[in-house]
Chain A
Amino acid sequence: MINALEIQAPTIEWVPLLPLILLFAGAVIGVLIEAFVPRGVRHALQSALALLTILGAGAAVLVALADFEPAKLAMDAIAYDGPTLVFWLLLLLFGLGGVALFAERAVGDGQSAFAASAAAVPGSPLEREAVRLKREQTEVFPLLLFSLLGMLLFASANDLILLFVSLEVFSLPLYLLSAMARRRRLLSQEAGLKYFLLGSLASGFFLYGIAMLYGFSGGLKLTDVAVAIDSQANEGTHVLLILGLVLMAVGLLFKIGAVPFHAWTPDVYMGAPTPVTGFMAIATKTAAVAALLRVFYVALGGAAWDWQPVFATVAVLSMLVGAVIAIWQNDLKRLLAYSAITHAGFILVAVTGAVEAGEGVFVSSVGAVAFYLLTYGVATLGAFGLLMSVRRAGGEATLISDWKGLGRSNPVVAGVMTLFFLSFAGIPLTAGFVGKLAVFVAAFQGGYGWLVVVAIIMSVVAAYFYLKVIVAMWFQSLDEGTEVVVVSPSPWVWTVVVVGALATVILGLLPGGMLDVMNGFSEFIR
């Protein structure tokens, strides 16, 4: 606990925190580049800087892995343990994918997916001027780095205040980025505003939950809460604990996009620029799930009997609502939004199980969730990359009907997209199947057999709408009068797509090693 009268000089462990420091430095330098470097070279410079920063941070994590000792860093504010490293690596990987999608210009006639001048009123002379001069908002790269920094912090925060701060650090840039689409700008701005308003509301609940838990335990560290639960175990129900637990769950489930806190996702996914949607879909989810696991397993592990039914309910609702509404969608971005809701449900199935690694345990919940996020992430980034390159007059061709007959006109793009969708659906021999298997096994071992049965049924329902797209691509032909072209993207997007496809196949055929690593690094420091 902090003693108010005595100011301590904080100790910072520079070496293990290097990934965070690098990201912060890269983001700040990016801002300086915006201020001092001529426009012409900014795009190249910013994208290279973002790429190198994330690669550097990733290298720092990998080096740390070699000689890894779990510890609490920065005055116990950051937990530096197995899950932290795994989620950091996942986030950095998804960050790399995000940078690649952000940097793509080939598909849009040499222009990025972001507004020429995001501050200009849509349709105003200012905007027309910016478009004529081929201006670009290259601030998106530092924004992505800031957001990524927040996500890494969020995934490793061991302190309720840091948790809230990092939530805002990663959310604010995303609100901005969502509003910066080059085309259909009003829709994009609406998406950004909506995301901001609802996100603020959820943050409010989250903060309120923190306050409740502080009131309950008198401490801000996760361990303080855990200790308080243990010591007051025999004193009956504690309203502050229950309220805090529910409200924190609300804040986190909002970011994960689980039902009933999902309402923003379809609108935001559709309105936001596609690269942002791709990045947000997977990175936000990863960070929020990591924080959720840490808060509920470490701080609130003693109250598991209270929160397991909550997550079970939310999991069922998410799988159900996501899957049945997705059936009705005719827009691929919206379909992927509902698919994301369904996947959130599957992840929560494993969270509910709450099994930890140990003797006789097949796979821990944390390991299963991390593996699931990896399989879902690579396919998601790849799918959004392909979505960017299939175009019609006026932008991306996101209607499912635009994708009809793609199997004949462009078998490569249709084939890879099919692979991603099969993985989403969890068809055997793809990575998605192993991911689903892992989360189901984790939940089953946690004593939630009924939930697994529901999840299996829902995965069959979900398979329907993925197959609908596959059928459209391979067995139907394009409607008369629709003109759709596949623009060959730059190496940026190709890399994302190829890496995603390879990972989907390899993790499907040989998942053993990766799952084992994630399972081995699944123990939280307490």
Chain B
Amino acid sequence: METTAAVGLFSLAPLMIGIPLATAFLLLLLGRVSDAWGHWLATLAPIVSFTIGLLLFLQMLGEPRAVEVKVYEWLATGSWSVDIGLLIDQLSILFVLLITGVGSLIHIYSIGYMAHDERRRRFFAYLNLFIAAMLTLVLANNYLVLFIGWEGVGLASFLLISFWAHKDSAAAAGNKAFIVNRVGDLGLASAMFTMFALIGSVNFADVNAAAPQMGGWATLIGFLLLLAACGKSAQVPLQSWLLDAMEGPTPVSALIHAATMVTAGVYLVIRSNAIYAQSPEATMAVAVIGTITLLAGAWIGSSKDDIKKVLAGSTMSQIGYMMLAAGLGPIGAAFAIFHLITHGFFKANMFLGAGSVMHGMNDDVNMRHFGALAGPMRITFLTFAMGYLAIIGFPFTAGFYSKDHIIEAAFHQNTVLGVLALIGAGITGFYMTRLMMMTFAGRKRWQPGVHPHESPLVMTIPLIILAVLSLVAGLFMNGWIQEWLAVPTGHEVHNTGLLHITPIGWLTMAVVAVGVAIGWYMFKDDIAETEPQTRNVFALVGRNDLYGDAFNEHAIIRPTKGLAAGLAWFDRTTLDGIPEGAAVVAGGLGNYLRKGQNGYSRSYGLILVAGVILLAAVVALGQLG
């Protein structure tokens, strides 16, 4: 990848991160003084970043290239240097626009959504922190800086999921997200260690250049990066945190847990395409994980009554599609990003729509208490409907282009994956229709005291913008994005016409139509206000998140606790038996060693002499060996 040094407009790039970061700290440090106007300042920050990003993008449109911006030299001594640098290329600039664009809309929406929360300033500070961290993640020119952003978004996600920490469930959900993500982080850290040990650098440029010589190590690194991606992007088997993460305020779900942060794993895999190109095994693993998750997410989405959890399951599923695409090699990478961006639009749209519904329904999320909301919430309904059309892949909407490409590419690579992806599309049609029917159609099942009303303009305008994007983004980006991403993804362009529909495309439409029809048929009639008892295995498994928590409980938490209990037992029974005397406090190696610290100089002298003998023995052993 050829890069040029930063000049002119590009030297402004660090400001994109710096402005939201500074705003976040300012709001946190100023405290209540900034309560009155803090949210306005915080909303301005991503808009400024977006403007800079847009200017850079326009300049790159004229002259596509990758630019490295050196922010500062963190360390330089001998032949060791670590630069903190940014990489602005065709891939990262798209993310910048998505993050700051959708981010700005969600900030605006939050002004209305959080209007009555007394900790609104803090909420906006965290949102800005997230924007800064997410931009760091995608703009990094090496894995180390990426890791800083990676941890930063993890922190922001934790703070925002548990924002209403007075609810125990929210606090627990925040912890869960944080802990599950640690597993993924371990993968990323180990991948970095491996790269550093192999080639002495974690710069993208160096790693990409050295990838062809890595041999079997590429497979290891590929798997470690996949583990990281699974954590951040809620892919099986690290998916369990995402559903609980819905405890956070809805704008957070829209921004972090739908449009941006959860796609970081996809970004990581595509950014590391040079490594995956060396390892068919790792690449196949990515595709398989993606396929499993797209089905698992769809399954969960089909069986939940909580509107946000349906959308969360759907997010898992759609990211599964992106992972699948990323695992199809260079041919799929551009499609993965394409779907990632269109998904960012339509899923943010639907999450914000769900938030708007909750806003009108006294924060109820149970769809069995909705129904017939199309009337009182006309704008929300219409915008949501556009998101719906986009996600099921209605012809000429955004999802139609982006998802069909993935299914088609999957068929090209591997028929099994293609068929599974196709089935996923059918289920998507089913559960999204179910959601629409339960929420907006049918009979009023409103709880007493609930008076649905449309949300204020500050909330509906972002909805309208996102709805329009959900419809038209595909048309605009379809041919262009492959060409645009050809360099960073190492992919040759396949021209796909706007109106040209392949046999697989027709098949997909048919399958989706069946899914929609089943959804409509099953939920057109009356819907019970409580979850019906069922023996349907599919429904039970889905309602329980495919027993993800049970799996964690049995496979990880209990064995860990068991190990800890075993160690404690060993402490109590074995170690405590060793030290004599009255001052036995508790077990443990430290406690045992501590006994040597008895305060007598003579004992200390003895330890010292024993040490002399120990050292002499070490040298003597060295001489023998």
**What residues make up the interface of A, taking CB atoms closer than 8 Å to B?**
193-194, 197-198, 201-202, 205, 237, 242-243, 245-247, 249-250, 253-254, 259-261, 263-264, 266-267, 305-307, 309-310, 313-314, 321, 324-328, 357-364, 367, 428, 434, 441, 509-512, 515-516, 518-520
Chain B residues contacting A428 (CB-CB under 8 Å) are: 148
A198-B604 in contact (CB<8A): yes
Chain B's interface size range is 35 or more
Q: Which of A247, A324, A520 contacts B590 (CB 8 A)?
A: A324
Within 8 A of A (CB), among B559-616: 588-591, 593-594, 596-597, 599, 601, 603-605, 607-608, 610-612, 614-616
B590-A327 in contact (CB<8A): yes
B608-A246 in contact (CB<8A): no
Which of B75, B589, B614, B620 has the most A CB atoms < 10 Å from its CB? B75
A266-B77 in contact (CB<8A): no
Asked if B79 is at the interface (CB within 8 A of a chain A CB), the reply is yes
B77-A260 in contact (CB<8A): no
Chain B residues contacting A266 (CB-CB under 8 Å) are: 597
A367-B77 in contact (CB<8A): yes
Chain A residues contacting B448 (CB-CB under 8 Å) are: none
B77-A328 in contact (CB<8A): no
Chain B residues contacting A515 (CB-CB under 8 Å) are: 75, 77
Chain A residues contacting B76 (CB-CB under 8 Å) are: 512, 516
A201-B74 in contact (CB<8A): no
B603-A263 in contact (CB<8A): yes
| Nearest residue, chain B, Cβ from A326 | B590
A248 nearest CB across to chain B (Å): 11
A176 nearest CB across to chain B (Å): 17
The distance in angstroms between the C-alpha atoms of A267 and B620, with both chains bound, is 32
Chain A residues contacting B80 (CB-CB under 8 Å) are: 362-363, 441
A253 nearest CB across to chain B (Å): 8
Asked if B73 is at the interface (CB within 8 A of a chain A CB), the reply is yes
* Extra A-B contacts (6), CB below 8 Å, given A263-B603, A520-B77: A194-B601, A198-B605, A250-B615, A313-B614, A328-B594, A512-B81
Chain B residues contacting A264 (CB-CB under 8 Å) are: 604
Given A198-B604, A364-B78, A367-B77, the answer on whether A246 and B619 have CB atoms closer than 8 Å is: yes
A362-B77 in contact (CB<8A): yes
Chain A residues contacting B588 (CB-CB under 8 Å) are: 324, 327-328
Asked if B72 is at the interface (CB within 8 A of a chain A CB), the reply is yes
Chain A residues contacting B72 (CB-CB under 8 Å) are: 510
A-B contact pairs, 24 of them (CB 8 A): A197-B605, A198-B601, A201-B608, A202-B608, A259-B611, A260-B611, A261-B608, A263-B608, A264-B604, A267-B597, A306-B619, A313-B618, A321-B593, A324-B590, A325-B590, A358-B78, A359-B79, A360-B79, A367-B78, A434-B75, A509-B74, A512-B73, A515-B77, A519-B77
Chain A residues contacting B611 (CB-CB under 8 Å) are: 250, 253, 259-261
| Nearest residue, chain B, Cβ from A260 | B611
Chain A residues contacting B414 (CB-CB under 8 Å) are: none
The distance in angstroms between the C-alpha atoms of A205 and B612, with both chains bound, is 9
Asked if B536 is at the interface (CB within 8 A of a chain A CB), the reply is no
The distance in angstroms between the C-alpha atoms of A472 and B66, with both chains bound, is 48
A306-B623 in contact (CB<8A): yes
A325-B593 in contact (CB<8A): yes
A526 nearest CB across to chain B (Å): 20
CB-based closest 7 A-B pairs? A362-B80, A260-B611, A263-B604, A324-B590, A516-B77, A519-B77, A512-B76
B78-A357 in contact (CB<8A): yes
B618-A310 in contact (CB<8A): yes
B296 nearest CB across to chain A (Å): 33
Chain B residues contacting A305 (CB-CB under 8 Å) are: 622
The distance in angstroms between the C-alpha atoms of A327 and B589, with both chains bound, is 10
The distance in angstroms between the C-alpha atoms of A130 and B606, with both chains bound, is 39
Could you mark each residue 61-83 of chain B with 1 if its beta carbon is under 8 Å from any beta carbon of chain A, else 0? 00000000000111111111100
A263-B597 in contact (CB<8A): yes
How many A-B contacts if CB must be within 8 Å? Answer: 122
A426 nearest CB across to chain B (Å): 14
Chain A residues contacting B601 (CB-CB under 8 Å) are: 193-194, 197-198
| Nearest residue, chain B, Cβ from A258 | B611
Chain A residues contacting B610 (CB-CB under 8 Å) are: 260
A263-B619 in contact (CB<8A): no
Chain B residues contacting A205 (CB-CB under 8 Å) are: 612
Chain B residues contacting A247 (CB-CB under 8 Å) are: 612
B591-A512 in contact (CB<8A): no
The distance in angstroms between the C-alpha atoms of A434 and B75, with both chains bound, is 9
The distance in angstroms between the C-alpha atoms of A441 and B73, with both chains bound, is 18
The distance in angstroms between the C-alpha atoms of A515 and B78, with both chains bound, is 9
The distance in angstroms between the C-alpha atoms of A520 and B79, with both chains bound, is 12
B78-A519 in contact (CB<8A): yes
Chain A residues contacting B79 (CB-CB under 8 Å) are: 359-362
The distance in angstroms between the C-alpha atoms of A365 and B81, with both chains bound, is 17
Within 8 A of A (CB), among B46-67: none
Chain B residues contacting A360 (CB-CB under 8 Å) are: 79
A325-B622 in contact (CB<8A): no
B622-A309 in contact (CB<8A): yes
The distance in angstroms between the C-alpha atoms of A52 and B148, with both chains bound, is 44
| Nearest residue, chain A, Cβ from B623 | A237
The distance in angstroms between the C-alpha atoms of A50 and B405, with both chains bound, is 77
A75 nearest CB across to chain B (Å): 32
Q: Which of B74, B607, B615, B616 contacts A510 (CB 8 A)?
A: B74
B576 nearest CB across to chain A (Å): 14
A310-B605 in contact (CB<8A): no
A307-B614 in contact (CB<8A): no
Chain A residues contacting B604 (CB-CB under 8 Å) are: 194, 198, 263-264
A249 nearest CB across to chain B (Å): 6
The distance in angstroms between the C-alpha atoms of A214 and B310, with both chains bound, is 81
Q: Which of A197, A306, A511 contacts B75 (CB 8 A)?
A: A511
B84 nearest CB across to chain A (Å): 10
Given A201-B605, A328-B588, A328-B594, the answer on whether A310 and B78 have CB atoms closer than 8 Å is: no
A425 nearest CB across to chain B (Å): 16
B178 nearest CB across to chain A (Å): 15
The distance in angstroms between the C-alpha atoms of A266 and B588, with both chains bound, is 19
Q: Which of A245, A260, A358, A359 contacts B614 (CB 8 A)?
A: A260
| Nearest residue, chain B, Cβ from A364 | B78
Given A246-B615, A359-B79, A519-B78, the answer on whether A254 and B608 have CB atoms closer than 8 Å is: yes
Given A198-B605, A263-B608, the answer on whether A309 and B619 have CB atoms closer than 8 Å is: yes
The distance in angstroms between the C-alpha atoms of A306 and B611, with both chains bound, is 17
Chain B residues contacting A246 (CB-CB under 8 Å) are: 612, 615-616, 619
B623-A242 in contact (CB<8A): yes
Within 8 A of A (CB), among B67-115: 72-81
B78-A306 in contact (CB<8A): no
| Nearest residue, chain B, Cβ from A515 | B77
B188 nearest CB across to chain A (Å): 14
| Nearest residue, chain A, Cβ from B591 | A328
Chain A residues contacting B597 (CB-CB under 8 Å) are: 263, 266-267, 325
Chain A residues contacting B603 (CB-CB under 8 Å) are: 263
Q: Which of A202, A306, A325 contacts B594 (CB 8 A)?
A: A325
| Nearest residue, chain A, Cβ from B76 | A512
Given A325-B594, A325-B597, A512-B75, the answer on whether A310 and B619 have CB atoms closer than 8 Å is: yes
Chain B residues contacting A326 (CB-CB under 8 Å) are: 590
The distance in angstroms between the C-alpha atoms of A205 and B72, with both chains bound, is 49
Chain A residues contacting B589 (CB-CB under 8 Å) are: 324
A449 nearest CB across to chain B (Å): 8
